[in-house]
Amino acid sequence: MVISISSWNRYIGLKADYSASLAMQRYKSGQMTFREAIDAALKNFFLGKLTYFYWNSGEEMAPTIGAPRGTHLVRKLPVSGPTYVFPGDVVVLRDPMKSHNNYLVRRLAGIGGYEMVSKDEKEVPFVLGKNQFWVLSDNENLKPKEANDSRNFGPVLMANIVGRVIYSMRTAEDHGPVQNSSNSGMKADSEVLEVELDLDQMTKIHLGKD
């Protein structure tokens, strides 16, 4: 695959932004000295990637992504916040009902400041806090407890979002980019896909889970 110079330049810019933002976050939190942060940023820029593969099972996100199982390409986030994820994005988040190493794929439905209104007239509307978000399953045929989303476990801290799903493989023959919210965000994601998407490797991972 031939990558255009303009796409490559934009990809380099995205990678530099990610590497610098991640390093500065760790420096400001006291995890690294300034020198260590600079070294980490350079190492990540030259050796790291902006994506990783994630495999999950379940009907909660059907028909948007793979069901009952799917393999996804997830774009990493240096920090969780409204400048990197947007309402309407399909995100990977830490499962609030299980251990720290369990994750869910859900659609981001609301962020801090959003008023959440239920179809149930008995439920009182409320406003999400500054660092909270609300996620929903895409499968409208599931009841809230079956969907295992914010209707079940409530608001979740923004820091629990770890990535945005940008490509999904439902089967080895059925795969493609995920429809997220922001046109500008999807444009940037498409440039990441142009450089980092490896369908051969993704297919091997997917078939290996069968």
Host domain of residue 72: 50-208
Q: Are residues 17 and 61 in the same domain?
A: no
Q: Are residues 12 and 93 in the same domain?
A: no
Q: Are residues 90 and 58 in the same domain?
A: yes
pTM score: 0.90
- Structural domain count of the chain: 2
Q: Are residues 95 and 33 in the same domain?
A: no
> Rounded mean pLDDT of the chain?
90
Residues designated as active site: 60, 106
Q: Are residues 147 and 88 in the same domain?
A: yes
Q: Are residues 144 and 183 in the same domain?
A: yes
Tokens of 64: 């948007």
In angstroms, the CA 53 to CA 202 distance is 7
Which pLDDT band, with edges at 50, 70 and 90, does 182 fall under? Answer: low
What is the per-residue pLDDT across 127-136, written as a single tens digit (0 to 9) for each?
999 899 999 9
Amino acid identity for residue 43 in this structure: K
Q: Are residues 98 and 33 in the same domain?
A: no
What is the per-residue pLDDT across 91-112, written as a single tens digit (0 to 9) for each?
999 999 887 789 999 999 999 9
How large a percentage of the chain has pLDDT more than 70? 97
The predicted pLDDT at position 74 comes to 97
Q: For residue 190, give the CATH number of its domain.
A: 2.10.109.10
Residue 137, pLDDT > 70, answer: yes
Q: Are residues 10 and 110 in the same domain?
A: no
- Other CB atoms within 10 A of residue 56 CB: 20
Tokens of 63: 């028909």
Which pLDDT band, with edges at 50, 70 and 90, does 1 fall under? Answer: low
> Pick from 154, 95, 89: which is nearest to 126 by CA?
154
Omega before 177 cis (within 30°)?
Answer: no
The predicted pLDDT at position 6 comes to 86
Q: Are residues 110 and 135 in the same domain?
A: yes
The whole-number average pLDDT for the span 31-57 is 95
What is the per-residue pLDDT across 75-92, written as a single tens digit (0 to 9) for each?
998 877 777 888 999 999
Residue 210, pLDDT > 80, answer: no
CA of residue 102 relative to chain centroid, distance: 14
Give, rounded to a whole angstrom, the gap between the first and last alpha carbons of the chain.
28
Q: Are residues 74 and 43 in the same domain?
A: no
Q: Are residues 66 and 2 in the same domain?
A: no
